Amino acid sequence: MPFNGRADRTNEIPKIVADHVDVFYGEKQALFGVDLEINRNEVTALIGPSGCGKSTFLRCLNRMNDVIPNCRVGGSIRIDGEEIYDPKVDPVILRQKVGMVFQKPNPFPKSIYDNIAYGPKIHGLARDRTNLDEIVETSLTRAGLWKEVKDRLAAPGTGLSGGQQQRLCIARAIAVDPEVILMDEPCSALDPIATARIEELIDELRENYTIVIVTHSMQQAARVSQRTAFFHLGVLVEVGDTEKIFTNPADDRTQGYITGRFG
Amino acid sequence: MSEHIVTSYDAELSRLNRMILEMGGRAESQLAAAVNAFSRRDATLAATIVRQDDYIDALEAEIDDFAVRLLALRQPFAIDLRMVIAAIRIASDIERIADYAANVAKRTIALTKSPPIGPEKVVPRISGMVEAMIRDVLDAFVERDVEKAHAVWRRDSEVDDVYTSLFRELLTYMMEDPRNIGPCTHLLFIAKNIERIGDHTTNIAETIHYLVRGERMVEERPKSDTSSFEVVAPASQGSAPEQGGES
């Protein structure tokens, strides 16, 4: 096809395969048999109205739901073929591999340097101080923050602007060398300029990572993702190429949601 | 499809719909009036039609501006996005249709200056076919009826056939008597203009397909106007026009 710059990814094996995932919070079922494949080095956007289960699904991917009492997850989620709900899997190791960035930037009340260095230290990823310095620099550079903070690494992370704090959190997630980065509405507390910076960053990061992002902004999903999954009432209604979802969705519920006919 | 949560958005989309219909209706009237002026050899009416084309151009500009506004302010997705894109495309096709109708009127003014020639009666016939196509394609647009749009699309080959046979007939007239060349050329252009209107009507049918189905129409375009491939053998070599490939 002319003008189609996208590489053919049909032969690639998905990074994450979710198979019939059910989630219960006590008696209440939040997700119903979600089957979803997430491609490597792509951004997958999860969209849907509040309470649709998109964030619940995101949190399943690094077992963040484990910490919620009464939460039960059924079905199977495999990353590179390995079942992450296998009892032998250490959730701490899993969360190193599958990092997360939250809605509100949540830097530790420490210096910029320590915010980044903390993870590599506890996971024993740095050989020595020089190596740790390198990790801090690389992570901040990848997160597009190095130039802005390199002269004040000892300053508190909480003193940065909202957009910088969010990039600091992304740098912190990158520092432990993850394979997957989960983002839960990472820009909802940011202004449009800071949002654009994060979106530009997401686009760069997908070269090295697999990214799953939950967003309430349809425009953001359209701008940053290659694939979009629409959730409604705990069900995965439709998943497909972002371009297809936003120009010609197959399901009426998807169409109703993205065109603002219900929500 | 149910209504938007924001009701003013619905109001804007239906306004866009109405604008297209008004523009389409006017273009169709322009064609009917131009052919009426042609049949009655009425240069005054023809001149009025030429002037009225400006109004249709203005409508197209208005639709374009409104569509751009919708894109910028509503950032439509899916069916709404396709509606805005379809409106821009259809308005552009209707503008061309109206241009061709105005051209028919212009050449009518020229034709009134020479005596009528035989094949003129074909013009109302071909125009009647095309006017019906415009009406039906606008109906298909209102009803979002893809089957109806496809039916219009297929009818274009009949128009092409009539045009091609007129083309041949006019060639024989011109070969018979060089004084016929002037009026025959005008007549040929008039018929060609109407035939082109048929083509734009098929474009609109394709746009309706895209609007409703969200994908491009894949059938081969009906092209049976073969006049571009005709070569003329001079009468002295004793043969009627022949068909052959352009080299």
Domain A4-106+179-258: which topology?
A: Rossmann fold (3.40.50)
Contacts of B213 in chain A (CB under 8 A): 248
Is residue B240 situated within a structural domain? no
Is residue B236 situated within a structural domain? no
Check: CB of residue A47 under 8 Å from CB of residue A55: no
Where in chain A are the domains? 4-106+179-258
Please give the torsion angle defined by the CA atoms of residues B21, B25, B28 and B29, in that order, rounded to the nearest 10 degrees: -170
Smallest Cβ distance to A248: which of B75, B76, B78?
B78
Name the minimum distance, in Å, from the CA of A247 to any CA of chain B.
Answer: 4
Contacts of A253 in chain B (CB under 8 A): none
Check: CB of residue B87 under 8 Å from CB of residue B20: yes
Q: What are phi and psi of B18, to 5 degrees?
A: -65, -40
Helices (H), chain B: 7-40, 43-74, 78-111, 122-143, 146-176, 181-213
**DSSP helix/strand/coil, B57:** helix
Q: What is the pLDDT along chain B (247 residues), one digit of tens a residue?
A: 678 999 999 999 999 999 999 999 999 999 999 999 999 999 999 999 999 999 999 999 999 999 999 999 999 999 999 999 999 999 999 999 999 999 999 999 999 998 888 888 899 999 999 999 999 999 999 999 999 999 999 999 999 999 999 999 999 999 999 999 999 999 999 999 999 999 999 999 999 999 999 999 987 665 666 777 777 665 554 444 444 444 3
Tell me how long chain B is: 247
- Inspect the interface and report whether the beta carbons of A249 and B78 lie closer than 8 Å: yes
What total of structural domains would you count in chain B?
1
Checking phi first, is residue A59 left (phi over 0); if not, alpha (psi -120 to 50) or beta?
A: alpha
CA gap A208, A205 in Å, rounded: 6
Is residue B218 situated within a structural domain? yes
Check: CB of residue A77 under 8 Å from CB of residue A85: yes
Is residue B2 situated within a structural domain? no
- Inspect the interface and report whether the beta carbons of A260 and B9 lie closer than 8 Å: yes
Is residue B163 situated within a structural domain? yes
Is residue B238 situated within a structural domain? no
CA gap B165, B227 in Å, rounded: 9
Smallest Cβ distance to B214: which of A247, A258, A262?
A247
Asked if the model's pLDDT at residue A173 lies above 80, the reply is: yes
Give the nearest chain B residue to A252 (CA atoms). Answer: B1
Model confidence over B81-134: pLDDT tens digits? 999 999 999 999 999 999 999 999 999 999 999 888 888 889 999 999 999 999
List, as one string, the DSSP characters of B66-108.
HHHHHHHHH---HHHHHHHHHHHHHHHHHHHHHHHHHHHHHHH
Q: Going by C-beta distance under 8 Å and a sequence separation of 6 or more, which residues neighbour residue B237?
A: none
- Which residue of B5, B10, B79 to mutate against A (max A Cβ within 10 Å)? B79
- Inspect the interface and report whether the beta carbons of A255 and B6 lie closer than 8 Å: no
- Inspect the interface and report whether the beta carbons of B82 and A262 lie closer than 8 Å: no
Is residue B13 situated within a structural domain? yes
- Inspect the interface and report whether the beta carbons of B77 and A262 lie closer than 8 Å: no
Check: CB of residue A180 under 8 Å from CB of residue A79: yes
Q: What are phi and psi of B243, to 5 degrees?
A: -100, 135
Please tell me the predicted confidence (pLDDT) of residue B218.
Answer: 85
Smallest Cβ distance to B78: which of A247, A262, A263?
A247
CA gap A203, A242 in Å, rounded: 14
Check: CB of residue B49 under 8 Å from CB of residue B30: yes
- Inspect the interface and report whether the beta carbons of A246 and B76 lie closer than 8 Å: no
Structural domain that includes position B39: 7-226
The strand pairing partners of A214, in sequence order, are: A46, A184
Mean pLDDT, residues A136-145 taken together: 94
CA gap B17, B22 in Å, rounded: 9
CA gap B211, B6 in Å, rounded: 22
Name the minimum distance, in Å, from the CA of B67 to any CA of chain A.
Answer: 16
Is residue B234 situated within a structural domain? no
- Inspect the interface and report whether the beta carbons of A261 and B2 lie closer than 8 Å: yes
**CATH number of the structural domain spanning residue B154:** 1.20.58.220
Q: What are phi and psi of A50, to 5 degrees?
A: -55, 135
Contacts of A218 in chain B (CB under 8 A): 77
CA gap A144, B54 in Å, rounded: 54
User: Strand pairing of A210-214 and A43-47?
Assistant: parallel
The ipTM value here is: 0.81
CA gap A55, A50 in Å, rounded: 9
Contacts of B6 in chain A (CB under 8 A): 260
